């Protein structure tokens, strides 16, 4: 096959997945009110958390910190978690993948020249694009309302590192959820496993509190898991908590987790499809 043919084949593949991305965006736009309502009501627990931290700081001496965080930095941390969540969170993709497996819908992908993982990844990004387009207004208004507490990025390197880390976070979130959904090849109900994973992610990724206020031993243990790189790390990069060699090291580790999660997703699909075909799927 000559170079021109290879380029044409690559162009056709890219066009195919761009079409999937476009269809996904169009389909998700039909749920734009749901996305808007989810964003608005999602601000309620955020408001409650901010109120709690204000009370905690009011009970301390003026100028006191919690860990290394001032009040403004602490509130900024939670505002940034909302931003990173809007950009990277997996909403219903794992449920939809599991449903495709249980209902036999994946059979069509075994007969068509389309990669199921790439197909689902396009749908995931289409959902994030649509959700962000709807959520950007209420989320921006809330951040503007809290602007006295919102900390700007510590510099250009922090902002660039944050953007790179957010992309890696989105990929890591998706590949882990995709791998978890592959359990549908072996078990009838994956909801228990998904809820357990979500519980671990919610605590160990930094949703509840910044991970660096934990005891050092526990914080070091979490460093050997992918969870901090699903939320805490990109936020810490933005806030300048991870800079210089620590930033580069963190991005390399985050990239490593993305690669490992991707390999796991591919292996789970390959093993699952063999079982699926063996039973006449």
The predicted-structure confidence for 97-133, as pLDDT tens digits, reads as follows: 999 888 888 888 877 778 899 999 999 999 888 888 8
Chain centre to alpha carbon of residue 14 = 23
Domains of the chain, residue spans: 3-278
Q: What is the pLDDT of residue 277?
A: 65
Q: What is the pLDDT of residue 281?
A: 52
Q: What is the pLDDT of residue 20?
A: 79
Tell me how far apart the alpha carbons of residues 96 and 248 are, in angstroms, rounded to a whole number: 35
Tell me the Ramachandran region of residue 63: left when phi exceeds 0, alpha when psi lies from -120 to 50, beta otherwise: left
What is the pTM assigned to this prediction? 0.88
Tell me how far apart the alpha carbons of residues 163 and 166 are, in angstroms, rounded to a whole number: 5
Q: What is the pLDDT of residue 188?
A: 83
Residue listed under structure tokens 């964003």: 39
Q: Which residues of the chain are under the pLDDT cut of 50?
A: 1, 3-8, 10, 279
* Cβ contacts of 139 within 8 Å, gap of 6 or more: 39, 43, 82, 83, 86
Inter-residue long-range contacts of 113-118, CB under 8 Å, 24+ positions, other chains counted: 114/16, 114/20, 116/269, 117/178, 117/265, 117/266, 117/269, 118/17
Q: What is the pLDDT of residue 11?
A: 53
Other Cβ atoms closer than 10 A to 171: 21
Its sign, for the CA torsion 223, 251, 263, 132, is: positive
The secondary structure of the chain in percent helix, strand, coil, rounded to multiples of 5, reads 75, 0, 20
Other Cβ atoms closer than 10 A to 264: 16
Other Cβ atoms closer than 10 A to 175: 25
Chain centre to alpha carbon of residue 256 = 16
Inter-residue long-range contacts of 163-167, CB under 8 Å, 24+ positions, other chains counted: 164/251, 165/229, 165/233, 165/234, 165/237, 165/250, 165/251, 165/254, 166/84, 166/87, 166/88, 166/234
Contact 84, 231 (CB under 8 A): yes
């Amino acid at each position: 096959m000559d170079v021109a043919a290879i380029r044409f084949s690559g162009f056709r593949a890219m066009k195919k997945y761009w079409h999937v991305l476009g269809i996904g965006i169009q389909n998700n736009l039909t749920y734009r009110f749901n996305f808007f309502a989810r964003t608005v009501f999602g601000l309620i627990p955020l408001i409650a958390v901010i109120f709690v931290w204000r009370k905690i700081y009011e009970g301390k001496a003026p100028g006191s910190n919690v860990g290394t965080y001032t009040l403004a930095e602490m509130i900024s941390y939670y505002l940034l978690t909302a931003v990173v969540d809007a950009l990277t969170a997996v909403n219903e993709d794992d449920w939809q993948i599991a449903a495709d497996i249980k209902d036999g819908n994946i059979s069509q992908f075994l007969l068509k020249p389309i990669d199921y993982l790439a197909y689902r990844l396009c749908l995931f990004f289409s959902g994030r694009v649509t959700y962000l387009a709807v959520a950007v207004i209420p989320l921006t208004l809330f951040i503007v309302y809290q602007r006295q507490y919102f900390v700007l990025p510590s510099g250009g390197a922090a902002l660039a590192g944050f953007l790179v880390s957010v992309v890696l976070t989105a990929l890591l979130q998706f590949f882990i959820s995709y791998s978890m959904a592959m359990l549908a090849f072996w078990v009838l109900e994956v909801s228990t496993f998904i809820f357990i994973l979500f519980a671990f992610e919610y605590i160990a990724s930094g949703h509840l509190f910044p991970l660096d206020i934990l005891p050092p031993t526990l914080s070091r243990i979490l460093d050997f898991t992918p969870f901090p790189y699903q939320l805490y790390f990109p936020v810490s990069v933005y806030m300048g908590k991870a800079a210089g060699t620590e930033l580069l090291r963190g991005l390399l580790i985050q990239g490593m987790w993305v690669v490992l999660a991707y390999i796991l997703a591919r292996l789970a699909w390959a093993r699952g499809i063999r079982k699926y075909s063996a039973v006449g799927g």
